[in-house]
Amino acid sequence: MAFIQLKTSLPGPKGLAALERRKNLLPAGLAKSTDVVVERAEGALVWDVDGNQLIDFAGGIGMINVGHRNEQVVGAIKKQLDKYIHTCSLVTTIEPYLDLAELLNSVTPGDFPKKTLLACSGSEAVENAINIAKYYTKRNAVLCFEAAYHGRTLLTLSLTSKYALFKKGFGTYVPDIYRIPAPNVYRGIPGMSEAAYEKYCIQKLEEAFITQVDPDSLAAIIIEPVMGEGGFIPIPASYLHKLRQVCDKHGIVFIADEIQCGAGRTGKMYACEHSGVIPDMVVSAKSIGAGMPISAVTGKAKMMDAPHLGGVGGTYGGSPIACVAAIEAIKILQSESFLQRVNEVGEIIRITMEGWKTKYSLIGDVRGIGAMRLVEFVKDRDTKEPDAEATLEIIKDAVAHGLIMIRAGLFSNCIRLLPPIVITNQQLVEGLQVLEAAIASAQEKRK
């Protein structure tokens, strides 16, 4: 291997010591996808504390699209550190906040006046978006979708699906939240064409407005244009257009959660651009900060202005250190050359995974858009019974051989590929070879 260089087993002695410290110091509920203990990272490579050199296919769950320690981002952070760290946007006006808001207002879809509110995490941004929508519409109900992930605060956890992993034991949840199935072409109705299935899903949406909630009671509909944790499920354009029509007809705020699928990951700055649907609000986070904790709600100015003075904000929202990092990251993310590279990376992955599908019966589906790609593992291709055990086995094998990976999917039976877009072709191919070897090994054990 040219880029994966293993000096010890994973984890090595120093890694084992750190993991023991973690077990004794951190809550048991704070999960980890791998036993990698990081010493440093650069581009698409990570070095652990034992000197092992690894390839990163997780990218901090899609947080590091521009690569680890991007030179432009690091330079901006260092320059800002020599000026001031933070004075709080609730106390003073911070120019980097204004600069980032201006940039986000210009790059998010929609030719209308916009305003941006900054926060620190994706959950916080989603919560702000919902609260602003409620304030603007003077309504309380929200429609969300099965398999969605929107965060871990009380409100966002109420919106999130996948009960056992995220929600068990944390109720009671926020009322007036309604959840319906999201279109999932792979797990659609047997014997039904894709077009017919999309029409069926639209019909079920219309029925939900009879059986579950009156659309005139809805403050917002929130959806990930490509579901992340739910299994990289691209929502059909026809369905997104239907949601837009419903929102226009009934005065509902359409919120696109672009936290994982945005920031250039799908080949466009925002995933909703593939459908041509323009949301009222866009929620951004993860890769816009290039590793710094920052998130944003960007929406129609009249909606963003709805809450009373003092109704929004937080101590660390719009940290100038995070803002200057995000400004440099977004300049890269929305550039033509970067988006072209996204599609190049995505094509290499797509072609490779399509080949795997013909070779390994464990693979039920491969899907995604741009460089947001996923493999779904099943016990039987006809029944599509999920195989979470094989998925975990494959990840452990791949990580042991120097590839950082994470799972996804409602049934935890998928592996998501979110490598930094700056990854080289050689690094990408090497990582895919490691993953294929792990899949082949799991397949052989099941013969």
pLDDT at 1: 72
What is the per-residue pLDDT for 10? 96
Question: What share of the chain in percent tops pLDDT 90?
Answer: 98
Asked if residue 88 has pLDDT above 80, the reply is yes
- How far is the C-alpha of 306 from the C-alpha of 15, rounded, in Å? 50
The β-bridge partners of 179 are 144
Looking at the fold, whether 227 and 96 belong to one and the same domain comes out as yes
Whether 149 is in a domain gets the answer: yes
User: Tens digits of per-residue pLDDT, 244-260?
Assistant: 999 999 999 999 999 99
pLDDT for 60 equals 96
Last residue of a domain, one of 271, 306, 333: 333
233 part of a folded domain: yes
Residues 284 and 312 in one domain: yes
- The CA-to-CA distance between both ends of the chain, in Å, stands at 28
Q: What is the pLDDT of residue 325?
A: 98
Residue 378 pLDDT: 98
State the pLDDT at residue 171.
Answer: 86
* Residues 177 and 223 grouped into a single domain: yes
pLDDT band, residue 136 (cuts 50/70/90): very high
Over the stretch 305-359, which tens digit does the pLDDT of each residue have? 999 999 999 999 999 999 999 999 999 999 999 999 999 999 999 999 999 999 9
Domain limit, last residue, from 296, 314, 333: 333
User: What is the band of 264 on the pLDDT scale with cuts at 50, 70, 90?
Assistant: very high
pLDDT at 418 over 90: yes
Please check whether residue 8 lies inside any domain of the structure.
no
Length of the chain in residues, anyone?
447
The predicted pLDDT at position 225 comes to 98
Same-domain status, 77 and 17: no
In a domain, 4, yes or no: no
In the numeric block, the tokens 């290039």 are attached to 290
pLDDT band with cut points at 50, 70 and 90 for residue 446? confident
Do both 81 and 55 map to the same domain?
Answer: no
| Mean pLDDT confidence for 365-380 | 98
- Domain final residue pick, 333, 353, 387: 333
205 pLDDT above the threshold of 90: yes
> Dihedral, CA atoms, 285, 289, 374, 41, nearest 10 degrees?
-150
pTM recorded for the entire structure? 0.97
% residues pLDDT > 70 (the chain): 100
Q: Would residue 67 count as lying in a domain?
A: no
Please choose, from the candidates 374, 272, 328, the residue with its C-alpha nearest in 3D space to the C-alpha of residue 66: 328
Say whether both 289 and 374 belong to one domain. no
- Domain membership of residue 189 (yes or no) is yes
Q: Can you give the pLDDT at residue 203?
A: 96
pLDDT of 79: 98
Q: For residues 302 and 422, state if they share a domain.
A: no
Inside any domain, residue 2: no
Domain match, 112 and 251 both: yes
260 and 346 in a single domain? The answer is no
Domain hosting residue 43, numbered range: 13-62+337-445
What is the pLDDT of the chain when averaged over all its residues? 97
Residue 109's CB is within 10 A of a number of other CB atoms, namely 19
Same domain, 55 and 82: no
The pLDDT value given to residue 32: 95
Average pLDDT over residues 292-311: 98
Shared domain for 246 and 367, answered yes or no, is no
1 or 286, greater pLDDT:
286
Structural domain tally of the chain? 2
Query: How sure is the predictor about 183, in pLDDT bands with cuts at 50, 70 and 90?
Result: very high
**29 in a domain, yes or no?**
yes
| pLDDT band, residue 442 (cuts 50/70/90) | very high
Q: What is the CATH number of the domain that holds 122?
A: 3.40.640.10
pLDDT mean over 387-396: 98
Report the amino acid identity of residue 163: Y
- Residue 433 belongs to domain with CATH number: 3.90.1150.10
| Same domain membership, residue 294 and residue 391 | no
